[in-house]
Structure 1
C-alpha cells in the first residue's frame, strides 16, 4: 500500500478551514513564525509550489513540532483534524512535487513523522484502527528512504500502542524490532524503557528487569532534546519503572515510582500525560487502600480537564464513579464523586 492509498479520513471543508484558519492559527501558541507557515502551507496545498526545497521541508517539520506541542496541551481529539488535514493536503502535495534526492529524503522523513504524530493523536482518541493505518503509513515512508532511525522510532511507538491494548506479545515483537540494529547511544534508554514495559505486560519478569536496568545505565546518555516525540528523561524512566512494577503485580512499588515520576516532571512534559498518569496513580492508590490520597490525585486530574480533549483521559475519568462506589460513606469520596457527576452533566469543571 502506498501512502496515497492510506485512508486517513476525509477531513473535508471543516478540516481545511481548521488547517488554514483557526487550526494553524493556533500554532501561534507554539511557533513564532506561524503566519509564514500558514502562507507556505497554503501554497503547498494548492500546488503553487511546483518544486520543493529545504524551505518546504522546514514547513513540514515546524508544523509537525507545533502540532505535537498543541497535542500535548489539548489532546488528540482537539488537534488530530488539523494534523490530518495538513498530512492529506500540504504534506502529501509536497511529496508529489519535483525535488533533488537529498530534499526528497528529508521531506519524506518529515512527512513520516507527521503521519506518526497523527497516528498518536488517533490513538489518544481511541481510534485504534485509524492509528494503526497512520503508523503503517509512517513506517512505509521511513522505509522508502531507508531512514532507520525514524523507522525504529515508529516501531517503538507502535509497541506503546500495543501495550495500551494489552497485546503484550505484539508489543514485545515491535519493541524488539525497534532495536534490531543497535540504536544510537542517546536512544538506548528510550528504546529499552519501552522494551521493559512490553516484556512486563507479556509476563516475562526477568527480561523486563534486564531491559529496565539497561535503560537506567543508559540514562545519562539518553536524548533529552527531542521535544516532539518524547525525549527520554528521568521522569519518563520512573514512569516505565512504575509500569513494569504494576504489570508484574507490585502495585505499592508502582505508586512509589509514579510519585517519583511526578517529582521529576518539568514544564516541558505533556499536560495530557500528567492527567493520564495522575489517573493511574489515583487508581493504584485506591487499590493499596489510600482513599484520601486517591481522591486528591483524581481531584488534580479533574482540575486539568477543561482544556483537555483526550479519549484516553476520558476513559480514566469514566471509571471513577464505579471505583468509588464502595467508598461513598466517606465524605471525601462523595465530594469527588459529585464533581465527576457535575462534569458528566456539563454543570461544572
Structure 2
C-alpha cells in the first residue's frame, strides 16, 4: 500500500469550498498530543533528525522528482514522525517536533499537488496547518496557506487562490522580508487571475521591495528567491495579456534558477516553450522544449509527464519543419526508453 494513503490521511477530491482553520483556532490545539500510553520519549536529537530528513527529501525532489521523493516522505511520516508525535518529552521538544512535522507535511502536500493528487495534497496541507498551529509556528502556517493558494490557482480557482493568499498575508503580520516577498508574489498572481491589475502590480512591487531586504540564505523547503519572483512576474504579465513580457520574465527566472533544481526547471522550460509557440516562435520553442527534455529524462514527475504530452501534441502539426521533426523524434525515443 502507498504509505501516503495510510495512517496520516486518506485520498479524496479537491474541494474549493474547504473551510481553512484559522491560526488562532489551532494555536493551542493538541494535534498529535500526548497519548494515554506514550510511544516513547523525544528529545532535541529527534527533531534534528526530522528536519534533516525533510531537507534531504527536498533535495531529492529537486534532483529526481516527486515521483521518487513523495513516497519517501510519506513513509517517513507514517513510520517515524507519527509515533514521535505520540511520545512524551519536554514541552519545548514537543513543540519543536510539531513544527518539524508540520514542515514535512507541508512538503509532502506540495509534492502530492505537483504529482496531480490534488485531493490528497489538500488534505496534507490542512494537516500541516493544524500541526503548525499546535506548534505556534506562524511561518509554516502562512507558507502552507500560500501553497494552498498556488494549488487553487493551478486548478483555475482564481477567487479561492486570492482568498487563500490574502489569508496567508494577514496571518503573518510580523514576517521577515523573504516570507513577505513569498506571500506578496502569490497575492500578485492570484489578483491577476481575477482581473485586478492594479492590485497585481502593486503586490509585485511589494514583493520586489521585500526581497531586496532579505538575506542571502536559501531554504530547502518553501524558499523564495529572485527566480521565484520572476516566475510570479511572468504569471502576472501573462494574465494581463503581455505575452512577450511574460516570456522575458520566464527567461530571467531560468537564468537565476539554481542548477540543482531540475524539477523546477522542467516546469519553467515547459511553460516558456508553450508561450513561445503561442507567440509564433516555433524554432525558439523547440529549442526550449529540447532543454526541457534534457532534465525531464532524469526525473520521475507526473507534472513533467503532463508537459511532455502537451509538447508532443503542440508540436505534431509542425512536423514538416525540421526543428519540430527533430524534437518529435527525440521525444518518441525518450518515450520508448521510459516505458
Structure 2 distance, partners of 1:48, 1:176, is 39
* SS in structure 2 of the partner of residue 230 of structure 1: coil
Partner residue, 1:190: 182
Are 1:120 and 2:104 matched, yes or no? no
* SS in structure 1 of the partner of residue 292 of structure 2: helix
8 Å CA contact 1:158–1:171 kept in 2: the answer is: yes
Written as runs of structure 1 = structure 2, the 5 A alignment for 1:100-249 is 100-180=90-170, 181-182=172-173, 183-222=175-214, 224-249=216-241
User: 1:265-291 deviations in whole A, cap 9, x for unaligned?
Assistant: 2335x2101010000111111111111
Written as runs of structure 1 = structure 2, the 5 A alignment for 1:182-331 is 182=173, 183-222=175-214, 224-267=216-259, 270-331=261-322
Partner residue, 2:33: none
User: 1:46-101 deviations in whole A, cap 9, x for unaligned?
Assistant: x9972111000101110011111101111111111111010011101111111111
Structure 1 distance, partners of 2:158, 2:257, is 27
Change (3 A) 1:128 1:224: farther
Partner residue, 1:56: 46
Which is helix-richer, 1 or 2? 1
Structure 1: unaligned runs, 5 residues or longer? 10-46
Partner residue, 1:7: 9
Q: Would you say how many aligned residue pairs link Structure 1 and Structure 2?
A: 307
8 Å CA contact 1:6–1:133 kept in 2: the answer is: no
Structure 1 distance, partners of 2:182, 2:245, is 22
| Runs of 4+ that moved beyond 6 A | none
8 Å CA contact 2:272–2:285 kept in 1: the answer is: yes
Structure 2: unaligned runs, 5 residues or longer? 1-5, 12-36
Change (3 A) 1:223 1:176: farther
8 Å CA contact 1:190–1:222 kept in 2: the answer is: no
Structure 1 distance, partners of 2:338, 2:113, is 28
Q: How far did 1:191 drift?
A: 1.0
Structure 1 distance, partners of 2:338, 2:131, is 46
| Aligned-residue CA RMSD (Å) | 2.0
8 Å CA contact 1:156–1:194 kept in 2: the answer is: yes
* SS in structure 2 of the partner of residue 274 of structure 1: helix
User: 1:205-245 deviations in whole A, cap 9, x for unaligned?
Assistant: 11111100111111212354242223222221111111111
Structure 2 distance, partners of 1:68, 1:163, is 22
Structure 2 distance, partners of 1:186, 1:97, is 34
8 Å CA contact 1:223–1:233 kept in 2: the answer is: no
Structure 2 distance, partners of 1:230, 1:48, is 32
Q: How far did 1:136 drift?
A: 0.8
